[in-house]
Amino acid sequence: MFVSKRDRRGGRGTSRARDSGYLFFSAGVLLILVWALYFLELHDPILVELVYVGWLIDAIGIALIFLSIYYLHMMGRPEGGKDFTHTTVVVSTGVYAVVRHPLYLGWALMYVVAMLFSQHWLVLILGSLGVLCMYALSMHEDGRLLESFGNDYRSYMASVPRMNLVAGIVRHLRRRKEDVQDVPSDLRRRSG
């Protein structure tokens, strides 16, 4: 998704870019397939309660996708005239303070939603493969971002989980609590 200068020159990143291209293609085909199967034929859920859970996860996934694009565009300082994927700095605020790959997580959740809506074995298998593709993409992206941003990205990786939203929220809340405790008590009283 994000293209480094090394990838464009044909260095070591070229095979990484090709591999991620295959994963993107596979993930896209699988996403279209699971939703097409759901809409065309396999939309008779066994447990209606799971459909309600699916709607909640759908809202979370869509929010992650749009917030990711927003923060990359606003905070990533994209190269002149290029889209939000060509960031020049590590984005670690907003939704990126919770998980490293919220865009991939949002798309992975779209597979989960299809599985919860359909509850058919074929959609479960194909959706699981799609989630694995998105996770593999996030792993590729970590490697590429380490090459591009070095120690800045390494320290970001140490403090923010790849795609675990629950762990990311817990870590983020702990960091905020520690930040508040680091403020002298007389300043806390004045600001409150």
Q: What is the pLDDT of residue 12?
A: 52
**Model confidence over 160-181: pLDDT tens digits?**
999 999 999 999 998 888 877 7
- Tokens 């990786």 label which residue? 157
Q: What is the pLDDT of residue 79?
A: 80
Is there a contact between 43 and 98 (Cβ–Cβ < 8 Å)?
no
Is there a contact between 188 and 180 (Cβ–Cβ < 8 Å)?
yes
41-180 architecture in CATH?
Up-down Bundle (1.20)
Q: What is the pLDDT of residue 14?
A: 61
**Pick from 144, 146, 149, 141: which is nearest to 12 by CA?**
144
- Round to whole Å and give the CA distance between 106 and 33: 18
Q: What is the pLDDT of residue 41?
A: 84
Q: What is the pLDDT of residue 29?
A: 95
**Model confidence over 63-84: pLDDT tens digits?**
999 999 999 989 988 888 788 8
Domain positions in the chain: 41-180
Band the pLDDT of 42: cuts 50, 70, 90: confident
Band the pLDDT of 146: cuts 50, 70, 90: very high
Counting every residue, how long is the chain? 192
Q: What is the pLDDT of residue 85?
A: 82
Angle between helix 121-149 and 151-159 (nearest 10): 140
- Tokens 């994963």 label which residue? 23
CA neighbours within 13 Å on the CB side: how many for 184?
A: 3
Q: Residue 54 above 70 pLDDT? A: yes
Tokens of 50: 């799971």
pTM: 0.83
Q: What is the pLDDT of residue 137?
A: 95
The type of residue at 166 is V
Q: What is the pLDDT of residue 1?
A: 40
Q: What is the pLDDT of residue 8?
A: 42
**Model confidence over 6-40: pLDDT tens digits?**
444 445 556 666 778 899 999 999 999 999 999 99
Q: What is the pLDDT of residue 94?
A: 94
Kindly report the three-state secondary structure assignment for every residue of 1-26. CCCCHHHHHCCCHHHHHHHHHHHHHH
Using alpha carbons only, what angle is made at residue 110 by residues 104 and 116, rounded to the nearest 5 degrees? 140
Using alpha carbons only, what angle is made at residue 104 by residues 164 and 145, rounded to the nearest 5 degrees? 90
**Model confidence over 89-109: pLDDT tens digits?**
999 999 999 999 999 999 999
Using alpha carbons only, what angle is made at residue 91 by residues 87 and 96, rounded to the nearest 5 degrees? 130
Among the listed ranges 15-19, 28-32, 42-46, 117-121, which one has the minimum average pLDDT value? 15-19
